[in-house]
Copies of this chain bind each other. A is one copy, B any other.
Amino acid sequence: MDKKLQGYIDKLNKLNFKEMYNGDFFLTWEKTDDELEAVFTVAEALRYMRENNISTKVFESGLGISLFRDNSTRTRFSFASACNLLGLEVQDLDETKSQIAHGETVRETANMISFMADVIGIRDDMYIGKGNKYMHEVVDSVTQGNKDGVLEQKPTLVNLQCDIDHPTQCMADMLHIINTFGGVENLKGKKVAMTWAYSPSYGKPLSVPQGVVGLMTRFGMDVVLAHPEGYDIMPEVEEVAKKNAAENGGSFTKTNSMAEAFKDADIVYPKSWAPFAAMEKRTDLYAEGDQAGIDALEKELLAQNAEHKDWCCTEELMSTTKDGKALYLHCLPADINGVSCKDGEVEASVFDRYRDPLYKEASYKPYIIAAMILLAKQKDITGTLEALADKATPRHFGE
């Protein structure tokens, strides 16, 4: 057995993640520390095996269903890559092609598409109070379907972004941080600035800032959430962050000053999002079908937004971070000054300097997703990894 791979297996053997088997992945704060570490470890093992041309195909057949309520290139390709790496074929449930909008209940559709599905990936982040709830409905439906003998297997759900959390993104971000700082053990006391930034566009989801403060407060870091007045995130997620900080020896604080957040920060994550209260209002307006109300709200939010063009990740601000070299993070695509818009979230020279690390950050996502799937589907994951390493079927034959 290869030493590095053995290391991952040894680490897994010390963790308790048996509750993940046959489970689902909704929110990072519903998982134990051991479970999160298992995801990171399996993700690293899968990456290592692929880099060493060892096939990790555990499924000879089976479908990975993707359901996107919002357009997406990155997440779509990450999910497709993860499924493909394990041997699952992606089948999109395209709501324009399907009859889902025509009065079908969630329960029925969830079962009808799952006869041969091993995983369902859902992105549903548009309406506060809806996305996560919808995912639970789907999981409840297929769990019941499996119990009733309708489905031979219960597909595992991977939350590809909901109204509350964006776990595959934040876990990829976090694995990038861990590798950049040389291990979890080096993160205690590091300062993370999750800050709002200006973007000319309207209504970006809250799931990234919420996911970040909900996850990064678990590693003993000092997490600062910064935004202009009125741009609050969901209060229940702030509670999660506070509790995490209290339990893990770091801190969770808030400020209305971007400069204060950046000061001496080791990691910065400047990104636009919409105010929680406004998004809640929008959700209600949609439910009422009040288009005039929606248009008025959009106008109001854009005006409010425009007052905060100074919330930009500039070279000047970057120079105030730890040694002027904080790790800059973004879920991409970023709104870059003079590139994708006139005024945006970040100055072009800052973004350019971090382009490679940003792409590496993104490159973890397919492995994080694949790890979440494997941990839910393999009863004996270390046995599986050992067997795959023994077989050593080349992913690319002849190379």
Interface residues of A (CB under 8 A from B): 50-51, 55-63, 68, 71-74, 76-78, 80-81, 84-87, 89-91, 93, 97-100, 102-105, 108-109, 111-113, 115-116, 118, 145, 148-153, 332-333, 335, 339-341, 356, 359-360, 362-363, 366, 377-381, 383-384, 387-388, 393-399
Can you pick out 16 interface pairs between chain A and chain B where the beta carbons lie within 8 Å of each other?
Answer: A51-B152, A56-B61, A61-B86, A72-B97, A72-B99, A77-B91, A77-B113, A80-B89, A104-B340, A105-B340, A108-B333, A150-B359, A377-B396, A378-B398, A384-B397, A387-B398
A397 touches B58 (CB 8 A): yes
CB contacts (< 8 Å) of A366 on chain B: these are 115-116
B113 touches A73 (CB 8 A): yes
B73 touches A100 (CB 8 A): yes
Stoichiometry (number of copies) = 3
How far, in whole Å, are A77 and B105 apart by their CA atoms in the complex? 17
A116 touches B58 (CB 8 A): no
How far, in whole Å, are A80 and B112 apart by their CA atoms in the complex? 12
CB contacts (< 8 Å) of A384 on chain B: these are 397-398
CB contacts (< 8 Å) of A100 on chain B: these are 73
Which of B102, B113, B341 meets A333, CB within 8 Å? B102
A394 touches B60 (CB 8 A): yes
Sample of 11 further A-B pairs with CB below 8 A, known A63-B84, A74-B112, A150-B356: A51-B152, A57-B60, A61-B395, A77-B91, A77-B115, A80-B91, A103-B335, A104-B333, A104-B340, A378-B398, A383-B398
Chain B nearest CB, measured from A22 CB (Å): 11
CB contacts (< 8 Å) of A362 on chain B: these are 111-112, 115
B360 touches A150 (CB 8 A): yes
The 10 tightest CB contacts between A and B, nearest first, are A103-B340, A384-B398, A73-B98, A81-B116, A55-B60, A150-B359, A58-B397, A77-B113, A148-B356, A74-B112
CB contacts (< 8 Å) of A383 on chain B: these are 398
How far, in whole Å, are A362 and B114 apart by their CA atoms in the complex? 11
B78 touches A115 (CB 8 A): yes
B85 touches A359 (CB 8 A): no
Name A370's closest neighbour in chain B (CB-CB). Answer: B116
How far, in whole Å, are A103 and B338 apart by their CA atoms in the complex? 11
Chain B nearest CB, measured from A181 CB (Å): 17
CB contacts (< 8 Å) of A87 on chain B: these are 61
Query: With A59-B395, A394-B60 given, is the CB distance from A73 to B333 under 8 Å?
Result: no
B55 touches A72 (CB 8 A): no
Looking at A108, A335, A341, A362, the one whose CB has the most chain B CB atoms below 10 A away is A108
Chain B nearest CB, measured from A330 CB (Å): 11
Chain B nearest CB, measured from A100 CB (Å): 6
CB contacts (< 8 Å) of A388 on chain B: these are 397
Name A333's closest neighbour in chain B (CB-CB). Answer: B104
Looking at A61, A74, A93, A149, the one whose CB has the most chain B CB atoms below 10 A away is A61
Query: With A58-B397, A148-B356 given, is the CB distance from A63 to B81 under 8 Å?
Result: yes
Name A56's closest neighbour in chain B (CB-CB). Answer: B61
Which of B116, B149, B339 meets A360, CB within 8 Å? B149
Query: With A73-B93, A363-B150 given, is the CB distance from A397 to B60 under 8 Å?
Result: yes
How far, in whole Å, are A85 and B149 apart by their CA atoms in the complex? 19
B380 touches A108 (CB 8 A): no
Query: With A340-B104, A398-B383 given, is the CB distance from A55 to B61 under 8 Å?
Result: yes
CB contacts (< 8 Å) of A109 on chain B: these are 73
